[in-house]
Structure 1
Amino acid sequence: MYKYLLPLVVAAWPACAQAEIEPSAPLTLKAALALAGAANPGLSAARHELGALDGALRQAGLAPNPTLSVERVDTRRADGDRRETTLLLSQPLELGGKRAARVQAAERGRDGAAAELALRQAELHAGVIDGWFAVLAAQEQVRLAQQAAELAQRAAGATARRVVAGKVSPVEETRARVAASTVQLDLLRARSALAGARQRLAVLWGNPAPRFERVDGAIEALSQLPELPPAAVLRGRLQQAPALAQARAELARRQALAQLELGQRTPDVSFHVGGKRSEELGRTQAVFGLSLPLPLFDRNQGGVLEAARRVDKARDELAAATLRLESDLAQAGADFELARQQAQALRVDILPGAQSAYDAASTGFDYGKFGFLDVLDAQRTLLQAQTLYLNALADAHRALAAIDRLLGATHD
């Protein structure tokens, strides 16, 4: 069975989104956005849906096909002179504005698919930016962990020499070795987190095994945090958000479908024209006729009621989407402001003090004025402050990406 299915799968494969293999060189944000835009499966699916609804729109505007029928009375050969043959061409005529309502519903469905595509693009754009900055932050974490490991090894070596010289207890050397091993574990965790961040970013363009080792950026790229516009301006931009455009298009489509259901109450007329050939009379007669269903029982009452309730549902969903997006936008703005303030406080107040304390403890240790535990505490405090700073910057960029996703912004 599989040998018959395989050619079909191979034939359909080019139509699917192909995974992009990024270069092994450091990856810029612009390159990551281009890779994801070209090969993201979800974005490709949204494009296919939009193309499919182009076909649905074309189909909705077509008129019904005519019907050709042939009827023969008395087919016996012995009575061939009594045969009657009737040839009819029937053309249904749609009444009640059905075709116009059908086309309008198809147009609104296409508008909804276009809004869905824009929403997917905004989500992908925000996801790539979030993922790229996550890799950049993970790179900085690895760099800090490597520095900590090197410093711990140097301190352990210095402690060993002081033990040999009889200046400190051998217990200090054991503590130094344990501390160095602990820092090595932190380095392993940082490298694992970097590998996970790289994979999550590469999956956005369909590559589960990323080739790039790092992104092309530095801590300065993380620390550049813009000022948000006023909340009223953001709420105004929210009215053009893809999610709201999609909800509005769905409401318009439901309203058009309700009009179509109302039109279904008006029966369609079929016009017949043709000829009737009588062998007995030896002549052909023209035949004209109309057929009209009688709406005695079925007047599409249920369809009209269902369509009306669907319109009410779409209207409520639009209101719910508006409230949800406003709440999400306010939360994302608050998250950004909190992360920005934390990053500023860490950069201005905490990091310089932690760095100064560590430098003093390290210098004092080299001159024998401080013990190893003093250096270790100062180092741990500095690393914690640096980690908090990186986390605050990453949170700020994550909140910015969430705001762009909600507003549908796709700028670099």
Structure 2
Amino acid sequence: MQTFLLRHSFISLILFSLATPLSAQEFTSLSIVDLQKLGLQANGLVQAARSQVDMAKADVVAAEAFPNPNVSIKVGPQSKRLPSSITGPSNNYREVNVSQAIENPFLRSARIGSSEALVEARQASLDQVRADLAAQLRVRAYELLLRQEEARMETGIYDLMKEIYRRIKVSVDVGETARFELIRAETEVLSAENRMEAAMLNAERARVALIQLAAGALQSGFEISASLNDPVNFPTLEELRQEVVQSNPDIRRLEAEQESASLRIDREKASVLPRVNILYENYQDAQFSTNVAGVNLEIPLFYRRRGEIDSAIYDSARLRDTLLYRRFEIGQQLESAWQAKEIARRRVEMFEGGIVTEAQLALNIAQTAYRLGERGFIEVLDTQRVLRGVLGDLLQARFELQSAAAEIDRLRAHYPKEHIIE
């Protein structure tokens, strides 16, 4: 039943690819860097984070604005209640009041500085989204290469099993081998075919996941011009520690948010100072014309913004503690990624240093002995399974090495940002 479902899914996938228009089937070869550029330009999460930066810049413009004046004009006729000999002639009444707030320079400076620090925080958040997406694209790309290598490996094993099955069938037909060997060989062929089709489906699933991550900017027939054997080179661990502390977007975001919170404390403290409004009044009627200037002071006598100041202090302390923890946590993540890279490198060196060669040699010897009639079919199967397991472990070790390298680059925000369209 499982074999039937796999075959049905595989056939459906082939029919779907044949039904796709020719323009979408054009093969495009992309390097890892090209793939990252494409994904960073098309992914909606990056665009949303960039909008947050633009919003923060707009808030700076608002923070830098000066307060507008307040103008009040009153105009109307005057009506006499007494004779003109007593009140004089009637006339229109006009009154103009102008009020202009004089902003506290300490309050203004703290408000602008806090808004500018939030711009840095939003930019760091954008860089974090970019770094995360670039790392995911890199890992998904190498996962696709891994699944394709596994599919090629399973295809080779399937071809080998078919060849052995053909030879056993000839031996059975001429009476040299028992029919039981043919049944067992047929079972192994079906098992190899099942694994091959499953590996192909896994490769297509990895391709779809990569297309989804790139927000549909990739054509269905694209190819990755990279290899699991790509070199992984980094500076020393000590240099990486210093680089991560300076360039990690999450650390930079928390530093900017802490700076904004500190300036918010200054802003709340500056709000305690009296607020000054300059007043001007012009009054005209039939007999008099008056010009009056004055000052309006708002004195914080009963409430001196104690709640707002304490809230800003506690928020600054929260961000400071969070920043200290994140520095430690990101440092430990770097250590873990570095150790994972070294472990994967040692595994690759161990497999490439002789294990794969020995397993391949053992299979060749078993096949030769089987053709000469000195070994049975079981010995060939055992050596083939050993080689398959060794090759699978080697591919997995190479993939883990590339994944650890992607994690290190994510922590230090290393991606092709100079090519991103702002």
Matched positions, count: 386
C-alpha spacing 1:30/1:410, structure 2 compared with 1 (3 Å): closer
> Which of 46, 51, 58 in structure 1 is aligned with 2:54?
51
Residue 156 (structure 1) aligned to one of 157, 165, 173? 165
Q: Which residue of 2 aligns with 1:287?
A: 292
Q: Tell me the SS of whatever aligns to 2:281.
A: strand
Look up the match of 1:18: none
Shift of 1:159: 1.2
- Alpha-carbon contact 1:133-1:222 (below 8 Å) kept: yes
Structure 2: distance between partners of 1:170 and 1:78: 130
Distance 2:359 2:68 in 1: 82
CA distance in 1, matches of 2:217, 2:358: 42
Map of 1:65 onto structure 2 = 68
Q: 1:210 to 1:181 in 2, by over 3 A?
A: farther
CA displacement at 1:184 relative to structure 2: 1.1
Match among 118, 122, 128 for residue 113 of structure 1? 122
**Change over 3 Å in CA distance of 1:145–1:41 after alignment to 2:** same
Letter in 2 for 1:402: E
Per the TM alignment, residue 78 of structure 1 is displaced from its structure 2 partner at its CA by 5.0
C-alpha distance in 2 between matches for 1:166 and 1:314: 82
**Would you say 1:234 and 2:235 are equivalent positions?**
no
Counterparts of residues 373-412 of structure 1 (less than 5 Å): 373-410=378-415
Structure 2 residue identity aligned to 1:107: E
- Larger mean CA deviation between 396-405 and 90-99 belongs to 90-99
Q: What letter is aligned with 1:33?
A: Q
Q: In the TM superposition, what is the alpha-carbon distance from 1:83 to its structure 2 partner? A: 6.6
1:23, distance to aligned residue in structure 2 (A)? 5.3
CA distance in 2, matches of 1:22, 1:304: 62
Give the match's secondary structure for 2:29: coil
AA matched with 2:113? Q
Q: Which residue of 2 is the match for residue 225 of structure 1?
A: 231
Equivalent position to 1:338, from 343, 347, 352: 343
One-letter amino acid matched to 2:277: S
2: CA distance, partners of 1:41 / 1:387: 36
Which residue in the other structure is 2:100 paired with? 91
Q: Could you tell me how far 1:225 is from its partner in structure 2?
A: 3.5
Identity %: 23
On the 8 A contact 1:139/1:214 being kept in 2, the answer is no
Shift of 1:362: 1.3
Q: In 1, are the aligned partners of 2:146 and 2:399 still within 8 Å (CA)?
A: yes
Is residue 244–residue 321 contact of structure 1 (8 Å, CA) maintained in 2? yes
Distance 1:148 1:213, change over 3 A: farther
C-alpha distance in 2, partners of 1:360/1:384? 18
Structure 2: which 5+ residue stretches go unaligned? 1-23, 82-88, 418-422
Aligned partner of 1:37 among 36, 40, 54: 40
The one-letter amino acid of 2:280's match is V
Mapping for residues 12-411 of structure 1, pairs under 5 Å: 24-71=27-74, 77-78=79-80, 81=90, 84-95=93-104, 97-207=106-216, 211-217=220-226, 221-240=227-246, 241-279=248-286, 281=287, 283-410=288-415
Q: Deviations over 1:366-395 (max 9, x none)?
A: 222221121111111111111100000000
- Contiguous gaps of at least 5 residues in structure 1: 1-20
User: What is the TM-score with the length of structure 1 in the denominator?
Assistant: 0.88
Greater shift after overlay, 202-211 or 101-110? 202-211
How far the C-alpha of 1:165 sits from its partner, in A, is 1.7
Amino acid at match of 2:209: R
> Displacement, 1:145?
0.8
Any idea what SS the aligned residue of 1:290 has? strand
**RMSD of Structure 2 on Structure 1 (CA):** 2.1
TM-score normalized with structure 2 length: 0.86
Taking structure 1 as reference, are residues 103 and 23 closer, same or farther at Cα in structure 2, changes over 3 Å only? farther
One-letter code of the match for 2:42? A
